Each structure stands twice: as C-alpha cells, then as structure tokens.
Amino acid sequence: MHFLDQAKIYIKSGWGGPGAVSFRREKYVEYGGPDGGNGGKGGDIIFEAVAGLNTLIDFRYTQHFKAQRGQPGMGKNRYGAGGDDLIVKVPVGTQILSDPQPIEGTEDEDGLCDYEEQEILADFTEVGQRMVFLRGGDGGRGNLSYKTSTNRAPRQHGTGWPGQEMWVWLRLKLLADVGLVGMPNAGKSTLINQVTNTKAKVGAYAFTTTKPQLGVVLHRDREFVLADIPGLIEGAADGAGIGDRFLGHIERCRVLLHLIDATSDDPVDAFRIVTDELEAYGGGLEEKPQLVVLNKGDLLGQELMEDIAGQLREQAGVEDVFIISGATGEGVSTLLDAVLPMLDDEADAAQEDDGGDESEATWSPI
C-alpha cells in the first residue's frame, strides 16, 4: 500500500428537503385546510478515526464527499426523511486543516502572493473519535406551518436550507511510542528491520527510505511501536528534502532514538545538524526524551567506537551514548532495555497531566 500523508478534499453537507404545499381533500370535508409537511434535514459530514489505516492514499482517488439531501415533505402532514450522514473514515493521527486563501494586496509582479496560515480545525488522536464537521441544512417548512388565523390556506413553503461546503486539507501524523531520527544512511531502516518484522528497504546510499515506516517491537514481553522517518538534512525544518513533513510524524512520539553513523566524516557534526533541525522545527521535539545511538559498530570495532562516543560526550555534551550494530544486533538489546523505563516515565507524566485519572486507560497505537 502506498503511503500518503497529505490530501486535499472537498466536503459538502446535504441540503434540507423542501416543504410540501398540500391541502386536505376528504369526502364531506368542504374546507380541509393545509396539510403539507416539512422537508427532512440534510445529512451531516462526520469524520471518524478508525483502526487499521495508516495512510491517506484513498483520498487521492476520491476527493469529493457530499452528504445526502433531505427528502421533501408530503401531504397529510408527513415530514420528509432526513438525508443520510456521510462518515469519512480517517487514520488515527489525522489533522483537518483549513485551505489557506490568498491575502489581498500581496500580489507581486509575477502574480505570486502570500497566503493565510493554515488553521487546525480538528485533531483525531484516538480510535473511535468522531466529529460532526459540517451540519446538514434544515428542512423547509410545509404550508401547514404557515397557517394563521388570517391566512387559512397558505401556499408558501420553504425550499430547504443549504448545506455547508468547503475545501480542507488532511494531514497525517503517525502515532508511535518511539521515533528514529538521524541523517540519511545512518542505518535507521536496518535497525527497524532488526527489531521488528518490518521489511523496510535498505541500501548503501542516502535517502533509501522515502516514506515513514512503522513496526512493533517485542522486548521483555513488552510491545511498543517504533517509527522510522526518512533521513534529515540541514534545512529540513524549513522544508529541505520535505523534512518538515517528515518531522511532523514524530511530534507525537514519546521517546526519540537519535541514530548516528559512526563511519561518517564527522559524527559530532551530524549529531548537531539533526539536533538543530529538531529545535528549529519546534513542536516540542527538542524537549522530548532522547537516546543517542552510535551505529555501525561492526564496521569500526569497539575501540574506535568508544573513541567516537567520547568525542560526542566532550564536544556535543551528550551524557550517554549507546554503541550498537543494527546489522548484527550487537548492543541492540541493551538499547531496548533503556527504552522501556523511559516509556513508563512518559506514560506516568501523561497521566499526571490528565489529572491522575486512572479510570481512563492511556491510548496506545498497538
């Protein structure tokens, strides 16, 4: 299945049905009077977060969503049926954003102009979360409702209120417990393949990974979700290599694993570049608990790896550096041992932020 994390769609709720113009016609009843019923309400546009989806690819092929119109009213004071609601199913982690409009008076010589900032209209973080996003129009009044003491046979009726319509953007931010970050070719895909059943593409060149990957890690009878995003380069926070979109996928991760290629020309500089990009992006990424991991130990040997780890401690101020080999699995178990208590600490902190209510279980993406 192809991965897509952004899509633009058009949504429109249903119009209300028209009211009826009708008069009672019955034998031996000379003046039956009006009996036209009201029209039915138009269908709503409802968004629902469902399990089992992790891409917005379906919205590439279906971009228009329109709810059903309400049925018209009928004689004998019969009301029209309401239109069916349209439920748009999205993956957990989906945000709905406004479609930015051009700002008047900012057009330059080339016809380019500034646009309004996108506004987050909804954020779906739990399975089963639903939201009535656009309400359907109310049905029109039948002529019975227009009857007064002076107007005994009204012929006016309501045509039904229009539904709402708009273009919106869907943006998917994957939900995972642990996120892998690092420069291109740091060995993130190799590591996620080592600890999960994911079959991420691995290659001896940069940007082998072109889309985020998710995998479930089973360690010490515990499970957690690990996310691998494509490698970050300098300027990623400003969109270089569409890094700003990739960084959005780790905003909700509780712990970050910062992988560094020990065979690179300057591991310390590689660490600083990624750290600076996390800071520049914002969204609280720079404040997330982070483990620094020196990868590809099988290529350099223990002594040289220790020397590079020492440089990271001295020059970059890193307290703990884990030395592993994603290819052979050496040191990986020790790394996972360190991850588990950090996840527990973050879960406890989240529960305290929610007021310590133990009646509601903390949501997990697995």
CA distance from start to end of the chain? 19
The domain made up of 178-353 has a fold known as Rossmann fold (3.40.50)
Amino acid occupying residue 303: E
How much of the chain, in percent, has pLDDT values that exceed 70? 86
By C-alpha distance, which of 122, 87, 116 is closest to 101? 116
How far apart are the C-alpha atoms of 322 and 324, rounded to whole Å?
Answer: 6
Give the residue with greater pLDDT, 240 vs 142. 142
Mean pLDDT of 103-132: 86
- pLDDT tens figures, 255-313: 999 999 999 889 999 999 888 888 888 778 888 899 999 999 888 888 999 999 999 99
Q: H/E/C letters for each residue in 263-309?
A: CCCCHHHHHHHHHHHHHHHCCCHHHCCEEEEEECHHHHCHHHHHHHH
- Bigger pLDDT: 12 vs 194: 12
pTM of the predicted protein model: 0.74
24 pLDDT more than 60: yes
Pick among 2.140.10.10, 2.70.210.12, 1.10.240.10, 1.20.58.220: CATH of 1-172 = 2.70.210.12
Provide the angle, in degrees to the nearest 10, between the axes of the packed helices 267-281 and 302-316. Answer: 50
| Cα dihedral: 151, 156, 158, 159 (round 10) | 180
List the one residue out of 102, 121, 124, 122 whose CA is nearest residue 113.
102
Residue 184: pLDDT over 50: yes
- Domain range annotation of the chain: 1-172, 178-353
pLDDT average, residue stretch 174-188: 86
Rounded Cα distance between 65 and 13, Å, is 8
pLDDT band, very low/low/confident/very high, at 349 (cuts 50, 70, 90): low
CA atoms within 13 A on the CB side of 97: 19
Q: Side by side, which strands form the sheet with 222-228?
A: 213-219, 222-228, 178-182, 255-261, 290-295, 321-323
Q: Is residue 351 pLDDT above 70, yes or no?
A: no
What was the pLDDT predicted at 99?
A: 92
| Inter-residue contact 339 to 295 (CB < 8 Å) | no
Same CATH fold, 178-353 and 1-172? no
pLDDT band at residue 363, thresholds of 50, 70 and 90?
very low
pLDDT in tens, 197-247: 766 555 444 444 557 788 889 999 999 988 888 767 555 445 454 446 677
Q: What is the pLDDT of residues 115-128, one digit of tens each?
A: 788 899 999 999 99
CB 132 within 8 A of CB 44: yes
